[in-house]
Amino acid sequence: MPLDFKDKVVIVTGAGSGLGKVYALDFAARGAKVVVNDLGGSLKGDGASSKNADIVVAEIKAAGGQAVANYDNVLDGANIVKTAVEAFGTVHVIINNAGILRDSAFKNMPEKDFKLVLDVHLNGAYKVTKAAWPYFRDQKYGRIVNTASPAGLYGNFGQANYATAKLALVGFAETLAKEGAKYNIRANVIAPLAKSRMTEDLLPPDVLEKILPEKVSPLVQYLAHADNQTSGAIFEVAGGFFGQVKWQRSSGQIFRGDEETFTPEAILNQFDSIMDFGEKPFNVKTSYPTQVSDYLSILEESKKVTKPNPQGNTK
């Protein structure tokens, strides 16, 4: 069965170019009523223009789809949601996609560049989502896709601002997934790589042609669809690769004994073991309560061993 978005209202932020443009076209082609939001500024976030959003809306309409343009900054998220409600009555899906870059080594990064990048990516996503949240709860339906980045998951030279914002979007989605669960609200995160003005000066042309935004869009559409029940997950997606990313933690090392064993020296002695994922099974974490109960059972288990060794551990 084709996955369609008939009767669904989808907001795509930053939909005037790159990934967002392809998402908007694809959602509309599958029957969604699309709010094409784009501020239309430069890659660094300077300026504004209605041109790109208008072009996308015109393309959607020419293909027989339904769309309305919105030129607000994502920081004015309430206006974007208002556009959806005035044009189509409500909102069912938010794709938090708008973004800018202000790269520089942390040593040289001005505070305004740090703050602006956090504002657009993180606070912008917050503003749009906050305005849509009451609609999602009332109608017991909502789908959110936040756009993180490998830079956020793993760090990247010159992107302290961007990486900070992108990882924050992960925590944001993971929490919305939990708070929204009983209202049929699903929130997930993608960390894409795709050809756009963000990457066109970084990667060679032959690589860029292999990572077109069209190869990211199917996952975004699936995560935004009613059939998707997965929530709070992170996906890497690029050039036809789709994979889930999970947090993992080593089995760790338990320290029990008298006070003297709780020392930095005891940590030093056991540090390799604390860090070791190799020979031991690792634990995948999916929720904070799971993590807490995991700690408690590890500690309970360790009580069975009464005699600590000289390093203070019980293994």
Q: Which residues bind ligand NAI (CB under 6 A)?
A: 13-14, 16-20, 37-41, 43, 45, 52, 73-74, 97-100, 120, 124, 147, 149, 192-194, 196-199
Q: Can you tell me the distance from the alpha carbon of 253 to that of 306, in angstroms, rounded to the nearest whole number?
A: 15
The DSSP bridge pattern shows strands 93-96 and 9-12 to be: parallel
- The helix/strand/coil state of 124 is helix
Which pair of structure tokens corresponds to residue 278? 């190799």
Q: Which of 199, 134, 126 is nearest to 169 (CA)?
A: 126
Q: Which is nearer to ligand NAI, 39 or 185 (CB)?
A: 39
Q: Which is nearer to ligand NAI, 126 or 141 (CB)?
A: 126
Q: Can you tell me the distance from the alpha carbon of 263 to that of 159, in angstroms, rounded to the nearest whole number?
A: 35
Q: Which residue has the tokens 């208002």?
A: 82
Instruction: Please identify which of the residues 71, 141, 162, 215 carries the catalytic annotation.
Output: 162
Active site residue 166: yes
Active site residue 162: yes
Q: Can you tell me the distance from the alpha carbon of 204 to that of 214, in angstroms, rounded to the nearest whole number?
A: 18
Q: Which is nearer to ligand NAI, 147 or 221 (CB)?
A: 147
Q: What does DSSP assign to residue 43? A: T
Q: How far is the CB of 22 from ligand NAI (least distance, A)?
A: 8
Q: Which is nearer to ligand NAI, 205 or 278 (CB)?
A: 205
Q: Can you tell me the distance from the alpha carbon of 223 to that of 221, in angstroms, rounded to the nearest whole number?
A: 6
Q: Which residue number places its CB atom closest to ligand NAI?
A: 18
Q: What does DSSP assign to residue 111? A: H
Instruction: Please identify which of the residues 21, 166, 195, 215 carries the catalytic annotation.
Output: 166
Q: How far is the CB of 284 from ligand NAI (least distance, A)?
A: 24
Q: How far is the CB of 105 from ligand NAI (least distance, A)?
A: 19
Q: How far is the CB of 194 from ligand NAI (least distance, A)?
A: 4
Task: Just list the catalytic residues.
Answer: 162, 166
